[in-house]
C-alpha cells in the first residue's frame, strides 16, 4: 500500500504548457531523422542513436518532474519554460553535433538535466521524492564528464565518449537511478500515473505526426506519378497501422494495468523505457519511407530493408516486451509479427521499394486486426482479475 497522503495523489489534466513544451521535440525528431538520412552508414546510425538517447532523456526527465512536482505550481511552470528554451537550442545543434557544434549541443543538454534535477531535488513535495532526485543528480554527475570530454575531442573519438555518456544516462533511467542501499520505492512517491500515461500517449501521437510530416515532405519533392502516389499511400497505411497497434485497445490495456498494480511508478517507468526504442523505430521508418517515396521503382537494398522493416520490427519488439512485463498478454502476437517483419526484410533486399511497402502494409494490417481483438480480451481479463 502507498504511504503517500491522499491529498498528494490528485488527478491532473495535461496542461497546455506541457503540450507547448512537447512541440520542441517535434523539431528534435525531425532533426534526428535528417541526421540519419544524411549519414546512411553504421556510424551515422550510431550517432543518431546517441543523440536520440540524449534528446529523449531530457523529455523523459522533465515530464516526470512536471508530473511529480505538479504543473500547477509556479516553480514547475518556470522550470518547463526554461527547459523548453534550452531544448530549442540543443535540438537546433543536432544536425552538426558531431561536426562543429558539439558545445552547442552539450551545454544546453547538461543545463537541462542539472537545472531540472536540482529544482526537483529542492522543491519536491515529499522527502522520498527529493531523495530520489538527489540520486538522479549523482548519476547525471557521473555522465557529465563524458559528455564534456566528447565535446572537447575531435569528431572521430567523440562518438565513443558520447556513447559511454548515453549508456550511463540510459542505464540510470532503466534502473531508476539506484545507489548502493538506496533504490526507488514507487509506492512511497506521490505520483499521478494517469497524467504520465496521457503524456506518453500524446507524445506518441507527436512522434507519428512527425513521421507523417516527413512523408509529406518527401511527396513534395517527388514527381506526381502512379508509383510515387501508391508508395506514399502505402507509407500512410503503415503509419495508420502503427497507430492502431496502440490505439486499437492497447491504451485501455496499459491504463488498466497501471490502475490495478500496486506500483504504478514502475509500470509507467517501463513504458518510458520502451519509448526510447519506439522513437528509434519511428525515426528509422521515417527515413526508410522518404527513400522509398523518392525512388519507388528503384532497386532494393540492405539499407532500405533495414529501415522499412527494421523500424516496425523494433517497434513490435519494444511494445511486445512492455505488454508482456506489465499486462502479461498481447506480447506473443507482437513478437510473431516482429519475426515476420524480419523474414520479409530479408526478402525485401531484392524487391523494389513499392513492393516492399506493399508487403509491409500486409503484415501490419493483419497484425493490427489481430491485436485489436487481443487487446479487448486482455483488458477484460485485467478488469476482472486485477493484478493478474
Q: What residues are paired with 179 via a beta bridge?
A: 182
Interval 92-134: pLDDT, tens: 999 999 999 999 999 999 999 999 989 988 887 778 778 888 8
- Distance separating alpha carbons of residues 87 and 47, to the nearest angstrom: 19
Per-residue pLDDT at 73: 83
Interval 152-177: pLDDT, tens: 999 889 999 999 999 999 999 888 88
b vs e for 21-44, b when ≥16 Cβ sit within 10 Å of the residue's Cβ? bbebbeebbbbbbbbbbeeeeeee
Query: Given pLDDT bands bounded at 50, 70 and 90, which one contains residue 5?
Result: very low
Place of cell 493484478: 387
Query: Given pLDDT bands bounded at 50, 70 and 90, which one contains residue 10?
Result: low
Residue 369: is its pLDDT beyond 50? Answer: yes
Per-residue pLDDT at 184: 65
DSSP secondary structure string for all residues of 60-90:
HHHHHHHHHH-TTSHHHHHHHHHHHHHHHHH
**Residues 234-246: what's their mean pLDDT?**
93
pTM for the complete prediction? 0.90
Per-residue pLDDT at 185: 63
Place of cell 547525471: 140
Q: What is the rounded (10 degree) CA torsion for 351, 357, 361, 362?
A: -20
List for the chain the helix, strand, coil content (%; round to 5): 80, 0, 20
Residue 262: is its pLDDT beyond 90? Answer: no
- Phi then psi dihedrals of residue 377, to 5 deg: -65, -45
Residue 347: its H or E element: helix 332-348
Q: Which residues contact 270 (CB under 8 A, 6 or more apart)?
A: 322, 325, 326
Per-residue pLDDT at 4: 46
CA geometry: angle 330, 237, 304, nearest 5 deg: 90
Radius of gyration of the chain (CA): 21
- Distance separating alpha carbons of residues 365 and 68, to the nearest angstrom: 38
**Residues 189-206: what's their mean pLDDT?**
81
Per-residue pLDDT at 3: 47
**Residues 298-315: what's their mean pLDDT?**
94
Residue 388: is its pLDDT beyond 70? Answer: no
Per-residue pLDDT at 177: 85
Give the mean pLDDT of the chain.
88
Q: What residues are paired with 182 via a beta bridge?
A: 179
Per-residue pLDDT at 187: 61
Residue 145: is its pLDDT beyond 80? Answer: yes
Interval 284-294: pLDDT, tens: 999 999 999 99
Range in 112-116, 266-270, 327-331 with the lowest mean pLDDT: 266-270
Q: Among 232, 346, 340, 354, which Cα is nearest to 299's?
A: 354
- Distance separating alpha carbons of residues 106 and 109, to the nearest angstrom: 5
Amino acid at each position: 500500500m502507498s504511504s503517500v497522503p491522499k491529498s498528494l495523489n490528485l488527478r491532473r489534466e495535461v496542461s497546455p504548457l506541457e503540450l507547448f513544451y512537447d512541440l520542441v521535440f517535434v523539431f528534435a525528431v525531425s532533426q534526428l531523422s535528417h541526421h540519419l538520412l544524411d549519414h546512411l552508414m553504421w556510424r551515422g546510425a550510431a550517432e543518431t542513436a546517441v543523440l536520440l538517447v540524449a534528446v529523449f532523456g531530457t523529455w523523459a526527465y522533465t515530464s516526470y518532474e512536471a508530473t511529480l512536482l505538479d504543473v500547477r505550481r509556479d516553480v514547475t511552470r518556470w522550470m518547463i519554460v526554461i527547459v523548453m528554451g534550452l531544448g530549442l537550442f540543443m535540438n537546433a545543434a543536432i544536425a552538426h553535433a558531431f561536426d562543429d557544434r558539439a558545445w552547442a549541443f552539450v551545454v544546453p543538454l547538461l543545463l537541462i538535466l542539472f537545472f531540472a534535477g536540482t529544482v526537483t531535488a529542492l522543491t519536491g513535495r515529499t522527502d522520498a521524492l527529493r531523495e530520489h532526485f538527489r540520486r538522479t543528480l549523482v548519476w547525471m554527475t557521473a555522465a557529465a564528464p563524458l559528455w564534456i570530454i566528447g565535446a572537447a575531442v575531435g569528431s572521430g573519438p567523440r562518438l565513443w565518449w558520447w556513447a559511454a555518456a548515453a549508456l550511463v544516462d540510459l542505464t540510470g533511467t532503466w534502473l531508476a537511478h539506484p545507489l548502493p542501499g538506496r533504490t526507488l520505492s514507487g509506492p512511497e512517491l506521490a505520483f499521478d500515473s494517469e497524467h504520465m500515461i496521457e503524456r506518453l500517449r500524446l507524445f506518441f501521437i507527436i512522434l507519428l505526426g512527425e513521421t507523417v510530416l516527413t512523408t509529406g515532405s518527401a511527396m513534395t519533392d517527388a514527381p506526381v506519378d502512379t508509383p510515387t502516389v501508391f508508395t506514399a499511400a502505402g507509407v500512410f497505411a503503415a503509419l495508420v497501422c502503427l497507430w492502431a497497434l496502440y490505439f486499437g485497445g492497447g491504451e485501455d490495456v496499459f491504463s488498466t494495468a497501471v490502475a490495478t498494480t500496486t506500483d504504478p511508478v514502475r509500470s509507467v517507468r517501463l513504458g518510458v523505457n520502451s519509448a526510447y526504442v519506439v522513437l528509434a523505430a519511428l525515426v528509422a521508418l521515417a527515413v526508410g519511407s522518404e527513400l522509398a517515396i523518392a525512388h519507388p521503382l528503384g532497386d532494393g537494398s540492405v539499407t532500405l530493408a533495414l529501415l522499412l522493416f527494421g523500424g516496425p520490427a523494433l517497434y513490435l519488439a519494444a511494445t511486445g516486451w512492455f505488454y508482456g512485463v506489465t499486462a502479461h498478454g498481447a506480447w506473443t502476437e507482437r513478437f510473431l509479427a516482429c519475426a515476420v517483419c524480419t523474414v520479409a526484410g530479408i526478402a525485401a533486399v531484392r524487391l523494389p521499394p513499392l513492393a516492399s511497402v506493399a508487403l509491409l502494409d500486409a503484415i501490419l494490417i493483419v497484425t493490427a486486426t489481430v491485436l485489436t481483438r487481443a487487446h479487448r480480451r486482455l483488458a477484460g481479463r485485467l478488469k476482472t482479475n486485477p493484478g493478474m
